A and B are shown apart, each in its own frame.
Chain A
């Protein structure tokens, strides 16, 4: 059986000037949590939006393969894509404060998506909404359904977004940095909730984050993105134990590990920022920041396999 979501050599460009995603490939299996990590501006969100076909105006996607449940998403028109979105594949965003429509109640926005995709009465939809609000840990769901977004805190709004995404029992949930805008205490709660829902409902979760602590705890598989490419992908334990790509190694050095980190040892950092890359770029996108790079890195970026299911893009190592 094919993977739940299969993305191969996805390219996203904006108006021919910027290449935001350059041949990224990833798969999400049923019941799997796949984390997409990398620093800001490396193309994680654009990848997610491209999968959902929600790119902003001017964004254009191409891919060698883009299938969901075996269905070719590239061949679907807007109507066909709308039939899947919110239904079999759902998405939650980075900005809980602004992602709900200020003019409608929570209940109206939650029931709307279910009534769009399933033939159910308003009564059934409301009951389902109240039930899900309870499941995501919101007390007094009945009260919340009648409230407007501005009456809820950021953490509550993100819980509402999650509950809303689950209304139609999706097979795939894409969560784009769902906790970035929230307080640290709330962040942990939301991620624990996502991990638990993923287990309970058995859905495929594509979680975009730059919090490696979270990744270590809940991901089955990790893909590291840099400058629009997936530079390394492996099962979580494998990646943490044996990172191959210099960027992955750099990222892991930036995270303090209690017990392993010596008090006097400084925490790592990667100097510089993600470059803006236009069409026609060749070689390794990381070479300007890489301590191992030499002249050959401007030409060849071989695809290597360290172990079954552990791939990376670098001419160096192992």
Chain B
């Protein structure tokens, strides 16, 4: 078990290092940072001044090592636009994104696990086909479009829910649903497939031969095994949701990390862009590790 954890940790660190490098390179590839920071009306002298002030005149490798060195100690630099520490900015915005992501994931699990189980129990019935159809539609529907649709119906026409901002829990309902919708298809299908496989297995026949109740057979014996891949994917989906909430935060004007990333890209505030990419990547890697751990908890064969 310890060796398993150690191996996972090494891989996670390598992934984080790769992402840091890529984030750095990609921001440099977007053009001469000094020109874009100085703005369209700047003179050559202004640009040079900016280049010096931000240390962009140094060799790229030196800039990179300097950034990595600071980032490792938790110093993500200062934002050019907001004139505050990047770490403060991200810390301020993170709760909104986390709330959104966790709401989305919880809703997704609450919908997809029961739907998946019911579809599996009623395999090849109309209910099963309906669930699969809904999953297909969910997969095909762009989230910004669904977001706008919900806003028109529930926000503008019916007036049930606020359409933008983060003032109360009601503000998170529609964005949460939209985010959940992106994860529901995969989770539902995975639950359904896992349950069908488990229900056809020899150990379920044993459970039936033992005269166990239907609830125990379905929920204790089958779901426990069917849940293993679902848990793994759910953790990864949360990572996608946190990173992918850029679009949703934009549509619903939620000032979270995604919104911050969008603002910073538009303003060429590259320390913020780099940092957001890095933080989201680290969260993603951490979630993958959590999913591995949860798997080991659920499946004793992985603990060996």
Residues of A within 8 A of B (CB): 52, 54, 56, 78, 81-87, 90-91, 93, 95, 98-104, 112-113, 116-117, 148, 150-151, 161, 164
Inter-chain contact A100/B206, CB cutoff 8 Å? yes
Pairwise interchain contact A102-B225, C-beta atoms closer than 8 A? yes
Name the residue on B nearest A87 (C-beta).
B211
**B301 interface residue per 8 A CB criterion:** yes
Bound-complex Cα distance A210 to B118 (A)? 40
Q: Which residues of B are in contact with A by a Cβ distance under 8 Å?
A: 200-203, 205-214, 216, 221, 224-225, 298-301, 304
Q: Which of A93, A103, A148 contacts B202 (CB 8 A)?
A: A93
CA distance A148 to B301 in the complex (A): 8
Majority SS of interface residues in chain A? Answer: mixed
A31 to chain B, nearest CB (A): 22
Contacts A148-B300, A148-B301, A150-B300; is A101 near B209 (CB within 8 Å)? no
Select one of A82, A100, A101, A151 contacting B211, CB under 8 A. A82
Q: Which of A85, A103, A116 contacts B299 (CB 8 A)?
A: A103
Contacting residues, chain A, for B213 (C-beta < 8 A): 82, 116
B209 A116 Cβ-Cβ under 8 A: no
Q: Which residues of A contact B209 (CB under 8 A)?
A: 52, 54, 85-86, 90-91, 93
The secondary structure that dominates the B interface is helix
- Measured in the bound complex, the distance between the Cα atoms of B292 and A6 in whole Å is 52
Please report the C-alpha to C-alpha distance between residue A83 and residue B208 in the assembled complex, in whole angstroms.
11
User: In the bound complex, how far is the Cα of B299 from the Cα of A164, in angstroms?
Assistant: 22
Number of A-B contacts (CB under 8 A): 77
Q: Report A-chain residues with C-beta under 8 Å of the C-beta of B221.
A: 101, 103-104
- Of the candidates A84, A95, A112, A150, the one whose C-beta lies within 8 Å of that of B301 is A150
Contact B206 A99 (CB under 8 A): yes
Which chain A residue has the least Cβ–Cβ distance from B206? A99
Would you give 6 A-B contacts (Cβ < 8 Å), ordered by A? Answer: A85-B211, A86-B209, A102-B225, A103-B221, A103-B225, A113-B211
Q: Is the CB of A102 within 8 A of B203?
A: yes
Q: Give chain B residues whose Cβ lies under 8 Å from the Cβ of A150.
A: 300-301, 304
* Contact of B206 with A101 in the complex, beta carbons under 8 Å: yes
With beta carbons under 8 angstroms apart, the residue of B203, B208, B301 that contacts A100 is B203
Known A-B contacts A148-B301, A150-B300; the reply to A101 vs B207 at CB < 8 A is yes
B207 shortest CB reach to chain A, Å: 7
Minimum Cβ distance to chain B for residue A57 (Å): 8
Least Cβ–Cβ distance between B295 and chain A, in angstroms: 11
A279–B225 alpha-carbon span in the complex (Å) = 38
> Once the chains bind, are B211 and A99 in contact (CB under 8 Å)?
no
**Is A98 a contact partner of B210 (Cβ separation < 8 A)?**
no
Q: Could you tell me if B205 and A82 are in contact, using CB atoms closer than 8 angstroms? A: no
The one of B203, B216, B224, B301 that contacts A99, using a Cβ cutoff of 8 Å: B203
Closest chain B CB from A132 CB (angstroms): 14
Q: Which residues of A contact B214 (CB under 8 A)?
A: 78
Closest CB in chain A relative to B296 CB, distance in Å: 12
Query: In the assembled complex, which residues on chain A have CB atoms less than 8 Å from the CB atom of B200?
Result: 56
A98 engages B212 (CB within 8 Å):
no
Considering the complex, give the chain A residue whose CB is closest to the CB of B299: A103
